[in-house]
Amino acid sequence: METPDGVRHYPDGTSRPGSDKTAARLTERRERYEREGRVAWSDLLLEAMGAALIEEPESEALQVRLTQIAALTTAWMQDLNRRRHRQSDSNRAPPPGTILHVRLPPRRLVYRAVVLRNGQIRIPALSRIFRLDEVQVQRVEQEEAPPSTSSYPLRRVLDASLEALKKDDE
């Protein structure tokens, strides 16, 4: 129902006959799904809705339940946004000069590589250039804490060649 000024008003619809059975079924469903390891946001929200159904209209307890539903809905939206953000980040190529640890399937060796300006990567140990989709990225090396190279002469040579490549590519 809508008032003349455009505000909607509906009855609460809580404390109806059978609401307690509906709430119990939704709780049992969520518990079963949780035991099976397949509980989802929708199951949690439905259970919270079922709990609100049994409250008295316009009561303090109903307001508490509705606040819980709002909080649960907000948490679900935040999780959805995090998953979207993570997906978009994983599809984006790293910036040029980034040092990656990559593996060339089906080999098990992990190589250090540098990302070139055109989105390709160069593996100095193999003296080859690859497309990013040809390798499996194991991890991105953190620039804040470079590995110590003093005790590994070969690593020192690789580090120097990677740095030279980064400078040439810039």
Residue 150 in any domain: the answer is yes
- Count of domains forming the chain: 2
Average pLDDT, the chain: 82
Which pTM does this prediction carry? 0.51
Which region among 30-34, 70-74, 79-83 has the lowest average model confidence (pLDDT)?
A: 79-83
Sequence-ordered alpha helix ranges (H) in the chain: 19-36, 41-53, 60-91, 153-169
pLDDT at residue 32 greater than cutoff 50: yes
| Distance separating alpha carbons of residues 122 and 130, to the nearest angstrom | 6
Residue at a domain's end among 74, 91, 108? 91
Per-residue confidence (pLDDT) for residue 2, from 0 to 100:
73
Q: Are residues 109 and 132 in the same domain?
A: yes
Residue 85 in any domain: the answer is yes
Six-digit token string for 62: 């109903």
Percent with pLDDT over 90 in the chain: 29
The pLDDT of 22-46, averaged and rounded, is 92
Q: Are residues 115 and 156 in the same domain?
A: yes
Residue at a domain's end among 91, 107, 124? 91
Provide the residue range defining the domain that includes 60. Answer: 19-91
Q: Phi/psi of residue 138, each to 5°?
A: -85, -45
Q: Are residues 78 and 111 in the same domain?
A: no
| Distance separating alpha carbons of residues 87 and 148, to the nearest angstrom | 33
Check: CB of residue 15 under 8 Å from CB of residue 54: yes
Check: CB of residue 34 under 8 Å from CB of residue 46: no
Residue 68 in any domain: the answer is yes
Residue 12 in any domain: the answer is no
